[in-house]
């Protein structure tokens, strides 16, 4: 079996390529980085180190690579592939769509049968987005032919994946935890064996939201609390039992969103939360809070990680004391090199915190805005994490 993967970056090598290799695929990458392409072709492998206590190193082999400028070779590789995947970044899907379009049309010309294209990007419905980008590059009749032979199942991915330059070359660093969820309804090539340790689901939405409103929410809340309390990393902050307790209780509040809307069991959510906190506390990882907390305007958006679970649970009459405190902490985040945080701080100075809450979160409900403001005022005075109603 042959797999063609666009993007030899951290996620491409640390998650997608890793699992495709474990599933028995002959793996070929397509990438713009000539050094990376040459390295993989000269050694037919790449190194992956697990960020566990043993720092286990694996060799992922056999692999090869094509430079993205070699379009004829890439098209021929698409024709021969049994599976096509991407992790190029959401903004780059439009850049890979033209060559993928050519390859898919050539597959049809040579009657190569069904194939699935799975885009693994940090966005909702990335494969559907790639499909629409392909539509822009072909005629209506060509798109009809593509849709009859090509599946575009959406996916959701989760794994911290980094890279490090060493004397022996670049190595990919990954945390032990990973998740690759693939939506079954988009799959056309039912003859292809399942990808080992990927999870196939009927609907991705509950799992995408679980990552956003539990994992990403908790990560951001910890970063903003850590900034407020003067900790440089997520891991150092969570050595403070008070901060860990606050994180756990905030996540437990957000978990009610999933038990109410999707019927997740409370025990299942508790296990997921404990696993997530364990990931955050991994001493072999150093999460800089300026990196984790970056772009606070986006993270305070109306449907984003901090705000949506807060407002939905409030509307349901469920507790949001910790969540509203977490929202408040984001308004303290200030990194002079982060334009969004500079914008928020300028707005607070000019308009006041009450107007800032309404402006950046989009929350209109007066009682909820007041809750967030009260937490902000308390934190400004003493940085205490004790909820207002328990003081």
Q: What domains lie within the chain, and their CATH numbers?
A: 2-201 (3.40.50.720), 205-390 (1.10.1040.10)
Q: What is the pTM of this model?
A: 0.85
Report pLDDT digits (tens) over 29-78: 999 999 999 999 999 999 999 999 999 999 999 999 999 999 999 999 99
How far is 270 from 309, CA to CA, in rounded Å? 17
pLDDT at 391 over 80: no
So what's the pLDDT on residue 387?
Answer: 43
Report pLDDT digits (tens) over 337-372: 999 999 999 999 999 999 999 999 999 999 999 999
Closest CA to 112 of 7, 188, 193, 5: 188
Percentage of the chain exceeding pLDDT 90 = 93
So what's the pLDDT on residue 390?
Answer: 44
Where helices occur in 211-265 by DSSP H, the ranges are 217-229, 234-237, 241-261
So what's the pLDDT on residue 384?
Answer: 52
Residue 106 neighbours by CB under 8 Å, 6+ apart: 75, 76, 78, 79
How far is 370 from 363, CA to CA, in rounded Å? 11
Q: Buried b vs exposed e over 293-322: b needs ≥16 C-beta within 10 Å?
A: bbebbebbbeebbbbbbbbbbbeeeeebbb
How far is 6 from 120, CA to CA, in rounded Å? 10
The residue length of the chain stands at: 391
Q: Which of 215-229, 300-314, 350-364, 375-389 has the lowest mean pLDDT?
A: 375-389
C-alpha distances in angstroms, 278 versus 57, 65, 165, 198, 320?
A: 21, 35, 27, 21, 23
Residue 86 neighbours by CB under 8 Å, 6+ apart: 5, 6, 7, 93, 96, 117, 118, 119, 120, 121, 126, 130
């Amino acid at each position: 079996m042959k797999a063609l993967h666009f993007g030899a970056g951290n996620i491409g090598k640390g998650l997608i390529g890793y699992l495709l290799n474990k599933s028995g695929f002959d793996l070929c990458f397509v990438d713009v980085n000539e050094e990376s392409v040459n390295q993989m072709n000269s050694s037919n492998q790449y190194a992956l180190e697990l960020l566990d206590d043993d720092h286990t190193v694996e060799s992922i082999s056999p692999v090869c690579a094509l430079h993205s400028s070699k379009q004829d070779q890439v098209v021929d590789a698409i024709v021969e592939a049994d599976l096509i995947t991407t992790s190029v970044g959401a903004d780059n899907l439009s850049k890979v769509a033209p060559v993928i379009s050519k390859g898919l049309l050539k597959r049809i010309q040579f009657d190569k049968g069904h194939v699935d294209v799975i885009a693994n990007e940090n966005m909702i419905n990335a494969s559907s987005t790639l499909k629409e980008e392909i539509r822009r590059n072909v005629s209506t009749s060509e798109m009809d032919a593509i849709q009859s032979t090509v599946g575009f199942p959406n996916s959701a991915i989760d794994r911290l994946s980094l890279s490090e330059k060493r004397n022996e070359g670049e190595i990919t660093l990954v945390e032990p935890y990973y998740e690759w969820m693939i939506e079954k309804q988009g799959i056309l090539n039912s003859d292809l064996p399942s990808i080992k340790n990927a999870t196939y689901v009927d609907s991705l939405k509950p799992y995408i939201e679980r990552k956003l409103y539990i994992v990403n929410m908790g990560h951001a809340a910890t970063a903003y609390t850590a900034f407020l309390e003067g900790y440089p990393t997520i891991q150092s902050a969570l050595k403070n039992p008070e901060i860990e307790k606050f994180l756990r209780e905030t996540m437990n509040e957000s978990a009610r969103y999933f038990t109410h809307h999707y019927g997740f069991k409370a025990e299942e959510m508790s296990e997921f939360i404990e696993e997530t906190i364990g990931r955050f506390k991994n001493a072999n990882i150093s999460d800089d809070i300026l990196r984790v907390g970056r772009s606070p305007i986006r993270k305070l958006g109306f449907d984003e990680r901090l705000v949506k679970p807060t407002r939905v649970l409030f509307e349901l009459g469920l507790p949001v004391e910790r969540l509203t405190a977490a929202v408040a902490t984001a308004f303290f985040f200030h990194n002079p090199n982060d334009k969004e945080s500079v914008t928020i701080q300028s707005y607070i100075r000019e308009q006041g915190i009450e107007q800032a809450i309404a402006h950046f979160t989009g929350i209109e409900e007066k009682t909820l805005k007041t809750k967030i403001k009260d937490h902000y005022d308390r934190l400004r005075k003493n940085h205490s994490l004790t909820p207002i109603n328990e003081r």
